[in-house]
Amino acid sequence: MERFCWGGFTIIILAALRRDGAARIPARRERVKIGAFRDIIATSLEKGDVNRMNLHEYQAKELLHQFGVAIPAGIKATSQQEAIEAAKEIRPSGPWVVKAQVHAGGRGKAGGVKFVRSIQDVEAQAGRLLGSILHTHQTGPDAVKVHCPLIQDGVDIAKEYYLSCLVDRSKKRIILIGSSEGGMDIEEVAAKTPEKILTLTVDPIAGVQPYQARDMGFKMGMDKKQIDQLVKVLGGIYNLFVQKDCSMVEINPLIVTTEGQLMALDAKVSLDDNALYRHKDTAELRDPTQEDEREHIAHEIGLNYVALDGNIGCMVNGAGLAMATMDVIKLHGGEPANFLDVGGGATAERVARAFKLILSSSKVKAILVNIFGGIVRCDTIAEGIIAAVKEVGLTLPVVVRLQGTNVEAGREMLAKSGMNIMAADDLTSAAKLAVAAAAQ
Ligand code: GDP
Ligand code: MN
Protein backbone atom coordinates (compact mmCIF):
# COMPACT_ATOMS: atom_id res chain seq x y z
CA MET A 1 0.00 0.00 0.00
CA GLU A 2 1.80 3.12 -1.13
CA ARG A 3 -0.83 5.73 -0.38
CA PHE A 4 -3.70 6.03 2.00
CA CYS A 5 -6.78 7.89 1.01
CA TRP A 6 -9.15 10.03 2.93
CA GLY A 7 -10.71 7.55 5.28
CA GLY A 8 -8.33 5.19 3.57
CA PHE A 9 -7.91 3.26 6.70
CA THR A 10 -11.53 2.19 6.69
CA ILE A 11 -11.18 1.01 3.12
CA ILE A 12 -8.08 -0.98 3.99
CA ILE A 13 -9.84 -2.62 6.89
CA LEU A 14 -12.81 -3.40 4.75
CA ALA A 15 -10.57 -5.00 2.17
CA ALA A 16 -8.93 -7.10 4.86
CA LEU A 17 -12.32 -8.23 6.06
CA ARG A 18 -13.33 -9.42 2.65
CA ARG A 19 -12.27 -12.84 1.68
CA ASP A 20 -12.06 -11.96 -2.02
CA GLY A 21 -10.12 -8.78 -1.36
CA ALA A 22 -12.29 -6.99 -3.89
CA ALA A 23 -11.88 -3.62 -2.24
CA ARG A 24 -8.11 -3.76 -2.24
CA ILE A 25 -6.70 -0.72 -3.93
CA PRO A 26 -4.04 -1.86 -6.36
CA ALA A 27 -0.71 -0.10 -6.29
CA ARG A 28 -0.16 2.21 -9.21
CA ARG A 29 2.25 -0.16 -10.93
CA GLU A 30 -0.24 -2.99 -10.73
CA ARG A 31 -3.10 -0.86 -11.87
CA VAL A 32 -1.59 -0.34 -15.27
CA LYS A 33 -2.09 -4.01 -15.90
CA ILE A 34 -5.52 -4.30 -14.42
CA GLY A 35 -7.28 -2.06 -16.86
CA ALA A 36 -9.46 0.95 -17.00
CA PHE A 37 -12.30 -0.06 -14.77
CA ARG A 38 -10.06 -0.79 -11.82
CA ASP A 39 -8.19 2.40 -12.60
CA ILE A 40 -11.24 4.52 -12.15
CA ILE A 41 -12.32 2.76 -9.03
CA ALA A 42 -8.86 2.87 -7.56
CA THR A 43 -8.23 6.51 -8.45
CA SER A 44 -11.60 7.48 -7.14
CA LEU A 45 -11.19 5.53 -3.95
CA GLU A 46 -7.83 7.12 -3.40
CA LYS A 47 -9.36 10.52 -3.78
CA GLY A 48 -12.43 9.36 -1.95
CA ASP A 49 -14.70 10.88 -4.53
CA VAL A 50 -16.73 8.07 -5.96
CA ASN A 51 -20.24 8.99 -4.89
CA ARG A 52 -18.75 10.87 -2.02
CA MET A 53 -18.72 14.38 -0.76
CA ASN A 54 -16.20 14.89 2.00
CA LEU A 55 -16.78 17.20 4.91
CA HIS A 56 -14.30 19.16 6.96
CA GLU A 57 -13.57 18.05 10.50
CA TYR A 58 -15.50 20.96 12.03
CA GLN A 59 -18.57 20.15 9.90
CA ALA A 60 -18.33 16.45 10.71
CA LYS A 61 -18.12 17.22 14.41
CA GLU A 62 -21.18 19.46 14.28
CA LEU A 63 -23.12 16.58 12.76
CA LEU A 64 -21.85 14.15 15.37
CA HIS A 65 -22.85 16.60 18.07
CA GLN A 66 -26.37 16.77 16.62
CA PHE A 67 -26.51 13.02 17.01
CA GLY A 68 -25.50 13.06 20.64
CA VAL A 69 -21.76 12.44 20.41
CA ALA A 70 -19.69 14.69 22.68
CA ILE A 71 -17.08 16.88 21.00
CA PRO A 72 -14.57 19.36 22.42
CA ALA A 73 -15.50 23.03 22.11
CA GLY A 74 -14.21 24.40 18.81
CA ILE A 75 -14.68 27.36 16.47
CA LYS A 76 -13.33 27.69 12.95
CA ALA A 77 -11.44 30.84 12.04
CA THR A 78 -10.74 32.48 8.72
CA SER A 79 -8.20 35.02 9.99
CA GLN A 80 -5.67 35.37 12.79
CA GLN A 81 -7.95 37.85 14.54
CA GLU A 82 -10.84 35.39 14.40
CA ALA A 83 -8.53 32.69 15.74
CA ILE A 84 -7.67 34.83 18.77
CA GLU A 85 -11.32 35.64 19.44
CA ALA A 86 -12.27 31.98 19.00
CA ALA A 87 -9.62 30.86 21.47
CA LYS A 88 -10.78 33.38 24.10
CA GLU A 89 -14.37 32.30 23.65
CA ILE A 90 -13.52 28.62 24.04
CA ARG A 91 -11.59 29.04 27.28
CA PRO A 92 -10.01 31.93 29.19
CA SER A 93 -6.53 30.47 29.03
CA GLY A 94 -4.77 27.65 27.17
CA PRO A 95 -4.22 24.99 26.15
CA TRP A 96 -5.84 25.07 22.74
CA VAL A 97 -5.32 23.02 19.61
CA VAL A 98 -5.02 24.73 16.22
CA LYS A 99 -6.06 22.32 13.45
CA ALA A 100 -5.79 22.73 9.69
CA GLN A 101 -9.14 22.06 8.00
CA VAL A 102 -8.43 20.11 4.85
CA HIS A 103 -10.00 17.11 3.16
CA ALA A 104 -7.20 14.80 4.21
CA GLY A 105 -6.16 12.91 7.28
CA GLY A 106 -2.66 12.49 8.62
CA ARG A 107 -2.52 16.16 9.52
CA GLY A 108 -0.95 15.54 12.91
CA LYS A 109 2.20 14.04 11.43
CA ALA A 110 2.35 16.74 8.75
CA GLY A 111 2.33 19.70 11.14
CA GLY A 112 -1.35 20.45 10.63
CA VAL A 113 -2.35 19.95 14.28
CA LYS A 114 -0.64 22.08 16.93
CA PHE A 115 -1.12 22.01 20.67
CA VAL A 116 -0.55 25.53 22.04
CA ARG A 117 -0.65 27.19 25.45
CA SER A 118 -0.67 30.92 24.77
CA ILE A 119 -2.79 33.31 22.72
CA GLN A 120 0.39 34.39 20.93
CA ASP A 121 0.89 30.81 19.78
CA VAL A 122 -2.74 30.54 18.66
CA GLU A 123 -2.14 33.61 16.52
CA ALA A 124 1.18 32.35 15.21
CA GLN A 125 -0.07 28.86 14.36
CA ALA A 126 -3.25 30.17 12.73
CA GLY A 127 -1.12 32.57 10.71
CA ARG A 128 1.22 29.80 9.64
CA LEU A 129 -1.65 27.55 8.53
CA LEU A 130 -3.90 30.11 6.81
CA GLY A 131 -3.34 29.92 3.07
CA SER A 132 -0.58 27.35 3.48
CA ILE A 133 -0.29 24.12 1.54
CA LEU A 134 -0.49 20.91 3.51
CA HIS A 135 1.12 17.69 2.34
CA THR A 136 0.09 14.64 4.32
CA HIS A 137 0.57 10.96 3.54
CA GLN A 138 -3.07 10.96 2.48
CA THR A 139 -2.92 13.85 0.02
CA GLY A 140 -0.26 12.13 -2.07
CA PRO A 141 1.42 14.50 -4.50
CA ASP A 142 -1.68 16.71 -4.69
CA ALA A 143 -1.33 18.93 -1.65
CA VAL A 144 -4.32 20.87 -0.38
CA LYS A 145 -4.69 24.47 0.69
CA VAL A 146 -5.72 25.41 4.20
CA HIS A 147 -8.45 28.06 4.27
CA CYS A 148 -9.65 27.87 7.81
CA PRO A 149 -8.03 26.46 10.91
CA LEU A 150 -10.22 25.07 13.66
CA ILE A 151 -9.43 26.41 17.11
CA GLN A 152 -10.27 23.79 19.67
CA ASP A 153 -10.24 23.25 23.38
CA GLY A 154 -7.04 21.38 24.24
CA VAL A 155 -8.32 18.43 26.20
CA ASP A 156 -6.41 15.96 28.36
CA ILE A 157 -6.36 12.53 26.81
CA ALA A 158 -6.34 9.39 28.94
CA LYS A 159 -6.73 6.98 26.01
CA GLU A 160 -7.34 7.05 22.25
CA TYR A 161 -9.76 4.66 20.50
CA TYR A 162 -10.81 4.26 16.89
CA LEU A 163 -14.38 4.05 15.57
CA SER A 164 -15.91 4.12 12.12
CA CYS A 165 -19.05 3.24 10.24
CA LEU A 166 -19.48 2.25 6.61
CA VAL A 167 -21.29 -0.10 4.29
CA ASP A 168 -19.81 -3.54 3.90
CA ARG A 169 -21.08 -4.36 0.45
CA SER A 170 -20.20 -8.03 0.64
CA LYS A 171 -22.41 -8.35 3.72
CA LYS A 172 -25.01 -5.91 2.40
CA ARG A 173 -24.96 -4.37 5.83
CA ILE A 174 -23.78 -1.29 7.61
CA ILE A 175 -20.93 -2.15 9.93
CA LEU A 176 -19.27 -0.38 12.83
CA ILE A 177 -15.55 -0.81 13.32
CA GLY A 178 -13.74 -0.23 16.58
CA SER A 179 -10.25 -0.55 17.97
CA SER A 180 -8.54 0.08 21.27
CA GLU A 181 -5.52 1.33 19.35
CA GLY A 182 -6.80 4.66 17.98
CA GLY A 183 -4.64 7.64 17.10
CA MET A 184 -2.10 8.47 14.51
CA ASP A 185 -0.64 5.00 14.05
CA ILE A 186 -3.87 3.13 13.43
CA GLU A 187 -2.79 2.14 9.92
CA GLU A 188 0.15 0.26 11.38
CA VAL A 189 -2.13 -1.45 13.91
CA ALA A 190 -4.34 -2.70 11.09
CA ALA A 191 -1.34 -4.03 9.22
CA LYS A 192 0.49 -5.65 12.15
CA THR A 193 -2.23 -6.62 14.60
CA PRO A 194 -5.47 -7.00 12.65
CA GLU A 195 -7.00 -8.89 15.59
CA LYS A 196 -7.23 -5.55 17.37
CA ILE A 197 -9.75 -4.35 14.79
CA LEU A 198 -13.27 -5.25 15.86
CA THR A 199 -16.40 -5.15 13.76
CA LEU A 200 -20.07 -5.06 14.55
CA THR A 201 -22.66 -5.82 11.89
CA VAL A 202 -25.87 -3.85 12.21
CA ASP A 203 -29.20 -5.50 11.54
CA PRO A 204 -31.11 -2.95 9.41
CA ILE A 205 -34.39 -3.62 11.19
CA ALA A 206 -33.17 -3.83 14.76
CA GLY A 207 -30.48 -1.13 14.51
CA VAL A 208 -27.43 -1.18 16.80
CA GLN A 209 -28.29 -3.43 19.73
CA PRO A 210 -26.97 -2.23 23.09
CA TYR A 211 -25.50 -5.70 23.78
CA GLN A 212 -23.48 -5.48 20.56
CA ALA A 213 -22.12 -2.08 21.55
CA ARG A 214 -21.31 -3.32 25.07
CA ASP A 215 -19.56 -6.34 23.64
CA MET A 216 -17.39 -4.12 21.45
CA GLY A 217 -16.59 -1.79 24.36
CA PHE A 218 -15.68 -4.75 26.56
CA LYS A 219 -13.36 -6.16 23.90
CA MET A 220 -11.81 -2.72 23.49
CA GLY A 221 -10.93 -2.81 27.18
CA MET A 222 -13.33 -0.09 28.33
CA ASP A 223 -14.69 0.11 31.88
CA LYS A 224 -18.39 0.15 32.67
CA LYS A 225 -18.71 3.96 32.67
CA GLN A 226 -17.05 4.18 29.27
CA ILE A 227 -19.10 1.31 27.88
CA ASP A 228 -22.34 3.06 28.84
CA GLN A 229 -21.17 6.10 26.87
CA LEU A 230 -20.01 3.94 23.96
CA VAL A 231 -23.51 2.52 23.56
CA LYS A 232 -24.76 6.08 22.94
CA VAL A 233 -21.82 6.99 20.71
CA LEU A 234 -22.26 3.94 18.44
CA GLY A 235 -26.01 4.55 18.25
CA GLY A 236 -25.33 8.19 17.39
CA ILE A 237 -22.84 7.34 14.65
CA TYR A 238 -25.23 4.80 13.17
CA ASN A 239 -28.17 7.23 13.21
CA LEU A 240 -26.03 9.92 11.61
CA PHE A 241 -24.88 7.44 8.96
CA VAL A 242 -28.41 6.39 8.07
CA GLN A 243 -30.29 9.65 8.46
CA LYS A 244 -27.79 11.79 6.54
CA ASP A 245 -26.98 9.15 3.90
CA CYS A 246 -23.29 8.96 4.70
CA SER A 247 -20.81 6.71 2.97
CA MET A 248 -18.33 6.93 5.84
CA VAL A 249 -18.13 8.21 9.39
CA GLU A 250 -14.77 7.92 11.11
CA ILE A 251 -13.75 9.07 14.57
CA ASN A 252 -10.03 8.79 15.14
CA PRO A 253 -9.29 9.29 17.89
CA LEU A 254 -12.35 8.78 20.01
CA ILE A 255 -10.85 9.71 23.35
CA VAL A 256 -11.50 9.18 27.00
CA THR A 257 -10.62 12.38 28.80
CA THR A 258 -8.88 12.30 32.15
CA GLU A 259 -12.34 12.98 33.62
CA GLY A 260 -13.59 9.79 32.02
CA GLN A 261 -15.67 11.29 29.22
CA LEU A 262 -15.81 9.82 25.72
CA MET A 263 -15.32 12.47 23.02
CA ALA A 264 -14.80 12.65 19.29
CA LEU A 265 -11.47 14.46 19.05
CA ASP A 266 -11.27 14.15 15.27
CA ALA A 267 -13.96 13.24 12.73
CA LYS A 268 -14.30 12.51 9.06
CA VAL A 269 -17.65 12.22 7.35
CA SER A 270 -18.29 11.46 3.67
CA LEU A 271 -21.77 11.84 2.27
CA ASP A 272 -23.24 9.80 -0.53
CA ASP A 273 -23.33 12.18 -3.50
CA ASN A 274 -26.33 10.45 -5.01
CA ALA A 275 -28.46 11.20 -1.96
CA LEU A 276 -27.54 14.85 -1.59
CA TYR A 277 -30.75 15.96 -3.28
CA ARG A 278 -32.64 14.99 -0.17
CA HIS A 279 -30.32 16.78 2.22
CA LYS A 280 -30.21 20.47 1.34
CA ASP A 281 -28.53 21.21 4.68
CA THR A 282 -25.57 18.91 4.20
CA ALA A 283 -25.32 19.52 0.43
CA GLU A 284 -24.42 23.12 1.29
CA LEU A 285 -21.36 21.97 3.19
CA ARG A 286 -19.45 21.17 -0.01
CA ASP A 287 -16.06 22.88 -0.26
CA PRO A 288 -15.03 23.00 -3.92
CA THR A 289 -11.59 24.36 -3.00
CA GLN A 290 -10.71 20.91 -1.65
CA GLU A 291 -11.84 19.04 -4.75
CA ASP A 292 -10.19 18.45 -8.10
CA GLU A 293 -11.12 21.62 -9.99
CA ARG A 294 -12.03 19.83 -13.20
CA GLU A 295 -14.10 17.25 -11.37
CA HIS A 296 -15.90 20.06 -9.64
CA ILE A 297 -16.70 21.83 -12.93
CA ALA A 298 -17.86 18.50 -14.38
CA HIS A 299 -20.12 18.01 -11.40
CA GLU A 300 -21.61 21.48 -11.87
CA ILE A 301 -22.42 20.87 -15.53
CA GLY A 302 -23.57 17.32 -14.97
CA LEU A 303 -20.78 15.38 -16.70
CA ASN A 304 -19.27 12.23 -15.25
CA TYR A 305 -15.57 12.99 -15.14
CA VAL A 306 -12.65 11.46 -13.28
CA ALA A 307 -9.16 12.88 -13.76
CA LEU A 308 -6.45 10.28 -14.42
CA ASP A 309 -2.71 10.40 -15.05
CA GLY A 310 -2.35 9.69 -18.77
CA ASN A 311 -2.14 11.98 -21.80
CA ILE A 312 -5.02 10.86 -24.04
CA GLY A 313 -8.17 12.83 -23.35
CA CYS A 314 -11.31 10.73 -23.79
CA MET A 315 -14.77 11.91 -24.67
CA VAL A 316 -17.30 9.14 -24.82
CA ASN A 317 -21.03 8.73 -24.36
CA GLY A 318 -22.06 6.04 -21.96
CA ALA A 319 -20.05 4.86 -18.95
CA GLY A 320 -19.59 1.35 -20.33
CA LEU A 321 -18.34 2.60 -23.67
CA ALA A 322 -16.06 5.04 -21.83
CA MET A 323 -14.49 2.18 -19.86
CA ALA A 324 -14.13 0.05 -22.99
CA THR A 325 -12.46 2.97 -24.75
CA MET A 326 -9.97 3.36 -21.93
CA ASP A 327 -9.26 -0.35 -21.96
CA VAL A 328 -8.55 -0.31 -25.68
CA ILE A 329 -6.26 2.71 -25.29
CA LYS A 330 -4.32 0.80 -22.66
CA LEU A 331 -4.26 -2.32 -24.80
CA HIS A 332 -2.44 -0.34 -27.45
CA GLY A 333 0.07 1.11 -25.02
CA GLY A 334 -1.56 4.44 -24.26
CA GLU A 335 -2.73 6.05 -21.03
CA PRO A 336 -6.08 7.80 -20.69
CA ALA A 337 -6.04 11.29 -19.16
CA ASN A 338 -9.55 11.00 -17.91
CA PHE A 339 -12.78 9.11 -17.74
CA LEU A 340 -15.57 11.16 -19.27
CA ASP A 341 -19.12 10.18 -20.00
CA VAL A 342 -20.98 12.98 -21.76
CA GLY A 343 -24.22 11.10 -21.26
CA GLY A 344 -26.97 10.03 -23.60
CA GLY A 345 -28.04 13.55 -24.52
CA ALA A 346 -24.71 14.52 -26.05
CA THR A 347 -25.79 17.85 -27.54
CA ALA A 348 -23.44 20.15 -29.42
CA GLU A 349 -23.21 22.35 -26.34
CA ARG A 350 -22.36 19.49 -23.99
CA VAL A 351 -19.75 18.22 -26.41
CA ALA A 352 -18.19 21.70 -26.49
CA ARG A 353 -18.14 21.89 -22.69
CA ALA A 354 -16.67 18.43 -22.41
CA PHE A 355 -13.95 19.40 -24.87
CA LYS A 356 -13.01 22.43 -22.83
CA LEU A 357 -12.90 20.34 -19.70
CA ILE A 358 -10.54 17.79 -21.27
CA LEU A 359 -8.34 20.55 -22.62
CA SER A 360 -8.04 22.29 -19.28
CA SER A 361 -5.51 19.60 -18.35
CA SER A 362 -2.05 20.43 -19.64
CA LYS A 363 -1.18 16.71 -19.69
CA VAL A 364 -3.44 16.00 -22.65
CA LYS A 365 -1.52 15.42 -25.90
CA ALA A 366 -4.30 13.93 -28.04
CA ILE A 367 -8.04 13.50 -27.80
CA LEU A 368 -10.08 10.45 -28.63
CA VAL A 369 -13.77 10.99 -29.24
CA ASN A 370 -15.79 7.81 -29.30
CA ILE A 371 -19.46 8.45 -29.68
CA PHE A 372 -22.33 6.23 -30.58
CA GLY A 373 -25.10 8.33 -32.09
CA GLY A 374 -28.22 6.65 -30.86
CA ILE A 375 -30.60 9.18 -29.42
CA VAL A 376 -28.40 12.03 -30.59
CA ARG A 377 -27.55 11.83 -34.28
CA CYS A 378 -23.96 11.73 -35.51
CA ASP A 379 -24.35 14.93 -37.52
CA THR A 380 -25.36 16.84 -34.38
CA ILE A 381 -22.32 15.44 -32.59
CA ALA A 382 -20.04 16.34 -35.51
CA GLU A 383 -21.46 19.86 -35.38
CA GLY A 384 -20.63 20.04 -31.69
CA ILE A 385 -17.11 18.75 -32.19
CA ILE A 386 -16.41 21.25 -34.97
CA ALA A 387 -17.87 24.13 -32.97
CA ALA A 388 -15.86 23.15 -29.91
CA VAL A 389 -12.61 22.74 -31.83
CA LYS A 390 -13.13 26.20 -33.36
CA GLU A 391 -14.14 27.80 -30.09
CA VAL A 392 -11.18 26.61 -28.09
CA GLY A 393 -8.72 27.08 -30.97
CA LEU A 394 -7.64 23.49 -30.67
CA THR A 395 -4.24 22.54 -32.01
CA LEU A 396 -4.00 19.03 -30.54
CA PRO A 397 -4.73 16.02 -32.74
CA VAL A 398 -8.30 14.78 -32.39
CA VAL A 399 -9.29 11.25 -33.36
CA VAL A 400 -12.99 10.74 -33.84
CA ARG A 401 -14.83 7.50 -34.05
CA LEU A 402 -18.50 7.99 -34.79
CA GLN A 403 -21.08 5.28 -35.21
CA GLY A 404 -24.83 5.23 -35.40
CA THR A 405 -27.61 7.32 -36.85
CA ASN A 406 -26.60 9.68 -39.68
CA VAL A 407 -23.00 8.52 -39.44
CA GLU A 408 -22.22 9.33 -43.09
CA ALA A 409 -23.43 12.90 -42.73
CA GLY A 410 -21.41 13.28 -39.55
CA ARG A 411 -18.21 11.94 -41.05
CA GLU A 412 -18.62 14.11 -44.11
CA MET A 413 -18.96 17.21 -41.97
CA LEU A 414 -15.77 16.31 -40.10
CA ALA A 415 -13.89 15.61 -43.32
CA LYS A 416 -14.97 18.92 -44.84
CA SER A 417 -14.22 20.97 -41.75
CA GLY A 418 -10.57 21.33 -42.76
CA MET A 419 -9.50 20.75 -39.18
CA ASN A 420 -6.93 18.49 -37.61
CA ILE A 421 -9.50 15.74 -37.06
CA MET A 422 -8.69 12.12 -37.87
CA ALA A 423 -11.70 9.95 -38.53
CA ALA A 424 -11.58 6.27 -37.59
CA ASP A 425 -14.05 3.57 -38.49
CA ASP A 426 -13.62 1.33 -35.51
CA LEU A 427 -12.41 1.54 -31.94
CA THR A 428 -9.15 -0.35 -32.49
CA SER A 429 -7.94 1.93 -35.26
CA ALA A 430 -9.14 4.97 -33.32
CA ALA A 431 -7.15 3.91 -30.25
CA LYS A 432 -4.05 3.17 -32.35
CA LEU A 433 -4.27 6.59 -34.01
CA ALA A 434 -4.70 8.34 -30.66
CA VAL A 435 -1.81 6.47 -29.03
CA ALA A 436 0.45 7.30 -31.98
CA ALA A 437 -0.65 10.96 -31.97
CA ALA A 438 -0.05 11.32 -28.22
CA ALA A 439 3.41 9.79 -28.52
CA GLN A 440 4.62 12.45 -30.98
P1 GDP B 1 -5.10 13.76 12.02
O2 GDP B 1 -3.64 13.55 12.22
O3 GDP B 1 -5.37 14.48 10.73
O4 GDP B 1 -5.88 12.49 12.12
O5 GDP B 1 -5.58 14.78 13.17
P6 GDP B 1 -6.19 14.51 14.63
O7 GDP B 1 -7.27 15.49 14.85
O8 GDP B 1 -6.56 13.09 14.81
O9 GDP B 1 -5.01 14.89 15.60
C10 GDP B 1 -3.81 14.15 15.63
C11 GDP B 1 -3.39 13.89 17.05
O12 GDP B 1 -3.21 15.12 17.75
C13 GDP B 1 -4.40 13.12 17.87
O14 GDP B 1 -4.28 11.73 17.68
C15 GDP B 1 -4.04 13.54 19.27
O16 GDP B 1 -3.02 12.70 19.78
C17 GDP B 1 -3.47 14.94 19.09
N18 GDP B 1 -4.49 15.93 19.55
C19 GDP B 1 -5.47 16.50 18.81
N20 GDP B 1 -6.26 17.27 19.59
C21 GDP B 1 -5.78 17.18 20.85
C22 GDP B 1 -6.16 17.73 22.11
O23 GDP B 1 -7.12 18.48 22.27
N24 GDP B 1 -5.40 17.39 23.19
C25 GDP B 1 -4.33 16.56 23.10
N26 GDP B 1 -3.66 16.27 24.20
N27 GDP B 1 -3.93 16.03 21.94
C28 GDP B 1 -4.64 16.33 20.82
MN1 MN C 1 -7.33 11.75 13.27
Top mean pLDDT of 245-249, 377-381, 407-411 is at 245-249
> Considering only CA atoms, which residue is closest to atom 16 of ligand 1?
183
> Does 345 have pLDDT greater than 70?
no
Return the closest-CA partner of residue 339 out of 361, 353, 358, 366. 358
Among 123-137, 197-211, 221-235, 389-403, the minimum mean pLDDT is found in 389-403
In the chain, the percentage of residues whose pLDDT exceeds 90 is 59
> Considering only CA atoms, which residue is closest to atom 13 of ligand 1?
183
> Does 18 have pLDDT greater than 50?
no
Q: Is 351 in the pocket of ligand 1 (CB under 6 A)?
A: no
pLDDT digits 0-9 by tens, 173-200:
999 999 999 988 888 888 899 899 999 9
Greater model confidence, 185 or 412: 412
Return the closest-CA partner of residue 270 out of 56, 4, 95, 11. 56
CA 189 vs CA 193, 354, 358: distances in Å: 5, 44, 41
Q: What angle do CA 210, 214, 217 make, to 5 degrees?
A: 140
Query: Whole-angstrom Cα distance, residue 92 to residue 89?
Result: 7
Q: What is the mean pLDDT of residues 319-338?
A: 94
Query: Whole-angstrom Cα distance, residue 241 to residue 174?
Result: 9
Q: What is the mean pLDDT of residues 41-57?
A: 62
Return the closest-CA partner of residue 150 out of 129, 131, 165. 129
Helix (H) or strand (E) holding 248: strand 246-257
Greater model confidence, 375 or 87: 87
Return the closest-CA partner of residue 310 out of 329, 288, 286, 282. 329
Provide the whole-model pTM: 0.74
Q: Give me the chain's average pLDDT, please.
A: 86
Distance of CA 371 to the CA centre of its chain: 28
CA 262 vs CA 158, 200, 214, 230: distances in Å: 10, 19, 14, 7
What pLDDT is attached to residue 27? 34
In the chain, the percentage of residues whose pLDDT exceeds 70 is 87
Query: Whole-angstrom Cα distance, residue 33 to residue 29?
Result: 8
Greater model confidence, 141 or 84: 84
Q: What is the mean pLDDT of residues 339-345?
A: 80
Distance of CA 46 to the CA centre of its chain: 7
Return the closest-CA partner of residue 428 out of 307, 330, 341, 313. 330
Closest ligand 1 atom, residue 182 Cα: 14
> Does 6 have pLDDT greater than 90?
no
Q: Is 184 in the pocket of ligand 1 (CB under 6 A)?
A: yes
Q: What is the mean pLDDT of residues 278-298?
A: 85
- Our answer to whether residue 195 is catalytic in this structure is no
Q: pLDDT-based confidence at 10, cuts 50/70/90? A: low
> Does 165 have pLDDT greater than 80?
yes
What pLDDT is attached to residue 43? 46
> Does 55 have pLDDT greater than 80?
yes
Catalytic residue among 162, 187, 238, 291: 162
Q: Is 157 in the pocket of ligand 1 (CB under 6 A)?
A: yes
> Considering only CA atoms, which residue is closest to atom 2 of ligand 1?
108
Query: Whole-angstrom Cα distance, residue 137 to residue 396?
Result: 35
Compute the distance from residue 227 Cα to the ligand 1 centre, in Å: 22
pLDDT digits 0-9 by tens, 289-323:
887 777 778 877 778 888 888 999 999 988 889 99
Return the closest-CA partner of residue 11 out of 221, 19, 20, 22. 22
